[in-house]
Amino acid sequence: MMVLFATITGCSNYKELNELSIVLGLGIDYLPDKDMYEVTYQVVNPIENAAKSTGSGTTPVIDFTTTGKTLSEAAFNHANVFSRRNIYSHVQVVVIGEELARKESLNFIFDIFERDANVKVNIPVLVARNSNVKTLLDTLVSIDKIPVRTLEGKLENASLILGEHGDTKIYDVIEDLTNLGSEPAISGITVVGNKKTGITKKNLESMEKTYVALNGIGVFRKGILVGWMDGQKTKSLQIIGNKIKKTFLRIPCDKKHYNTVVINRLRSRSRVDITNNHTEISVEVKAYGFISELLCNKDISKREVLEEYEDKAAQELELEIKEGIRAAQRMKSDVFGFGEILHYSHLRKWNDHSEQWNEVFSQANVTVHASIDIEGVGMRVKPYPY
């Protein structure tokens, strides 16, 4: 009887699929002339993505924008411009405009994500650098039919292979915003090439394509974007956070040539202490890797040569970490979470300095010690002669 009753009653909030639009990407920007939020939605075009459909020649996704004084108002206003009801359970990436990130704290942006149960908080977050959000999401790509999947894929690849960009999720940002001892750090994304061509189908027909690329790490203080960290030093965030999967190091052997060591295992440990108002931050790193390219004409079958390369690789790793910390210190933003370490290890000292921690962090003395074991040299031992 219970089974029959459940079968015939149905659901009160039932909707047909052709009444819904599946949102895959969200972008949030700021319009200074109107003093309003602009929300860009990237939704699936069902005709172009149907398995057996030949398509109509249109784009696989449809982008549209709405505006409002609040994000909720902008979200509700989608009813004025789109014929279907949005569902957000399949959102794959959220992009924040750089102008908005510099104007207003992320607290005012991410409040809605944590309150709304329809949006998952394990979604990657990016900052649109030197471009507005709509242009970035509108840029068509040839390898992936769905542009937001390209953003997600590039972020995942860079995190797994380069170690320069962390896969920062919404819940990571919320945690950093609510903790006094850490600040958010979010990867930037930029449009490369002709932006006007990139949003048209001509971009798919040209060999020289406009595309989107990861570009630096956005550093925040009190929820507001205060600067960018670029280059090799961005690895320091993943190293200190023990999130790095793989990266590489260039080892100089003369003014023109380098060896390359790939790091495939790494563990770091950080300590923070304050004595007589003098703050000390120490970072210890133990890494393992292999030589992937050898342009120095030395015999690596000799242990002393490998030890020389291990020492040089360790020095390069120490330099990258120090430069990353110094960059954050100049921006007075503890994106590494050293304040949290002090909180857990020396609670009383943390309580005495928590309110001005970013200032304390900016003046801290930093020491970094790294050691690297080279465990392999590939299929060839002897270098090519030159």
The CA distance from 282 to 365, in Å, is 8
Q: Residue 6: which pLDDT band, with cuts at 50, 70 and 90? A: very low
What is the full DSSP assignment across 270-306? EEEEEETTEEEEEEEEEEEEEEEE--S---TTSHHHH
- The upper half-sphere exposure of residue 114, i.e. CA atoms within 13 Å in the direction of its Cβ, equals 15
pLDDT in tens, 68-97: 998 889 888 888 877 777 778 888 899 999
- Tokens matching residue 197: 């061509």
Q: Where are the domains of the chain?
A: 2-229, 234-376
Alpha helices in the chain (DSSP H): 2-9, 46-49, 71-76, 98-103, 107-115, 133-138, 147-157, 170-178, 195-198, 202-205, 235-240, 303-330, 338-345, 347-353, 357-362
Q: What is the pLDDT of residues 236-249, one digit of tens each?
A: 999 999 998 899 99
Nearest-CA neighbor of 27 among 117, 99, 116?
99
Tell me the pLDDT tens digit for each residue of 300-336.
888 888 899 999 999 999 999 999 999 999 999 999 9
Calpha distance 319→366 (Å, rounded): 12
> What pTM was estimated for this model as a whole?
0.86
Q: Give percent of the chain above pLDDT 70.
A: 85
Tokens of 18: 């052709």
Between CA 182 and CA 201 the distance in angstroms is 43
Question: In this structure, what token pair is assigned to residue 149?
Answer: 């999947």
Give the model confidence (pLDDT) of 190-249 as tens digits.
988 766 656 666 656 566 677 888 999 999 999 999 999 998 999 999 999 999 889 999
In total, the chain counts a number of residues equal to 386
* pLDDT tens per residue across span 328-375: 999 999 999 999 999 999 999 999 999 999 999 999 999 999 999 999
Helices (H) then strands (E): counts for the chain: 15, 13
Residue 254 binned pLDDT confidence (cut-offs 50, 70, 90): confident
Q: At residue 89, what is the residue type?
A: S
pLDDT for residue 211: 82
> The domain 234-376 belongs to what CATH superfamily?
Nutrient germinant receptor protein C, domain 3 (3.30.300.210)
